[in-house]
Amino acid sequence: MGDYSIWVLDYAAVKTFPQSVMLYGPQYHGVRNLPYAYVLIKGRGEVMLVDTGYDHQQYGKYLADLYGVSNWHSPADVLGECGVTPEDITHVFITHAHFDHMGGLDLFPNATFYIQKRELDKWIWALTLGPEFRFLVGAADPADIMKATRLARDGRMVVVDGDREDVIPGIDLHLAADTHTYGSMYVTVRNDGARDSADSWIFAGDLIYTYDNLTGLDTNDPYLVPIGLAVGSQSNLLFASAEMLKAVGGDHRRVVPVHEDRLKDTFPSRATANGLHVVELTLATGEPSRVG
């Protein structure tokens, strides 16, 4: 038993997502189910999220419809499966500024948010470019960037410049610059509190979409395969993946991609009445199971 209970909570999905975007290279064909999810971390008097999801209205709805997102449900519905309300959330770690990860800033009225300085700075820069560069601002809602700056002014958006250890006891933030986005970050939970932890979990944002990014498709010849959607370099994605794997002793199951449909088969889980899934990674002492 560690300090924190951790769940991955689906809130929507893209039923037919191109596999060639999940795994770089034209040799990969077909489609997969792509859950949209965020991570709930509870313990030591805190209730935290990795990412916010998005709000299914205005430009968020436009982007969701554009990408084929279906079965969206609000944080009240999704968090309620674990006995939590949006008002209970104390801290949110934003892995990157794409709409499905940062589009719910208004939905957690009591939370303090954390984002990398490079992510915020470079998105503002990218939004100043001409329409010929619109690939660089795809999947982002400009209104979310404005909300982030407003929250910073109000003291509820902490801008992190690089790696930061123990932002909350046992929780570290790591910059992965110029990868999927300009200032993507991943979150490490050292669930035993030890500096050289034997019980670490890493939440990778979209540095990986699937475990196959860490193993390849041939179990007899494992290798790293980058995702197929990035404004940075594929090399940086590979080095970030290797760094994450090393931090968990090579156990790829502990580098968690929230878009991985197989999480529900890898860890204890249950389907909800809404057709979503609650995936239970670990429980702190005294925390009841939400899947049993």
Q: What is the pLDDT of residues 207-238, one digit of tens each?
A: 999 999 999 988 889 999 999 999 999 999 99
CATH number reported for the structural domain that contains residue 271 in this entry: 3.60.15.10
The residue type of 120 is L
In a 3-state reduction of DSSP, which class is residue 266? helix
Tens of pLDDT, residue by residue over 41-79, are 999 999 999 999 999 999 999 999 999 999 999 999 999
Pair of tokens at residue 69 = 């997102």
Q: Which whole number is the average pLDDT over 252-262?
A: 98
Q: Which whole number is the average pLDDT over 32-38?
A: 97
Average pLDDT of every residue of the chain: 96
Q: Which whole number is the average pLDDT over 181-185?
A: 98
In a 3-state reduction of DSSP, which class is residue 195? coil
Indicate whether 292 belongs to any domain: no
Indicate whether 290 belongs to any domain: no
User: For residues 80 and 108, what is the distance between their CA atoms, to the nearest angstrom?
Assistant: 14
Indicate whether 291 belongs to any domain: no
DSSP symbols for 222-244: ------S--SS-HHHHHHHHHHH
In a 3-state reduction of DSSP, which class is residue 49? strand
Residue 26 is predicted with a pLDDT of 62
Q: Is the dihedral of CA 201, 8, 141, 114 positive or negative?
A: negative
157-160 vs 112-116, strand pairing mode: parallel
Indicate whether 131 belongs to any domain: yes
69-70 vs 5-18, strand pairing mode: antiparallel
User: For residues 95 and 204, what is the distance between their CA atoms, to the nearest angstrom?
Assistant: 8
- What is the total count of domains within the chain? 1
CA 66 vs CA 24, 69, 138: distances in Å: 22, 8, 11
Nearest partner of 280 among 7, 5, 3, judged by Cα: 7
Indicate whether 289 belongs to any domain: no
CA 273 to chain centre: 24
Q: Tokens 């279906």 appear where?
A: 70
Tens of pLDDT, residue by residue over 108-147, are 999 999 999 999 999 999 999 999 999 999 899 999 999 9
Indicate whether 288 belongs to any domain: no
The residue type of 239 is F
Pair of tokens at residue 156 = 């509820």
Domain range for residue 273?
5-282
| Between 26 and 119, the higher pLDDT residue | 119
Indicate whether 237 belongs to any domain: yes
Residue 25 is predicted with a pLDDT of 77
CA 150 to chain centre: 22
Pair of tokens at residue 161 = 């410049």
Indicate whether 44 belongs to any domain: yes
Name the CA radius of gyration of the chain, rounded: 18
Q: Where are the alpha helices (DSSP H) in the chain?
A: 19-22, 58-67, 75-80, 99-102, 117-126, 142-153, 212-215, 234-247, 263-266
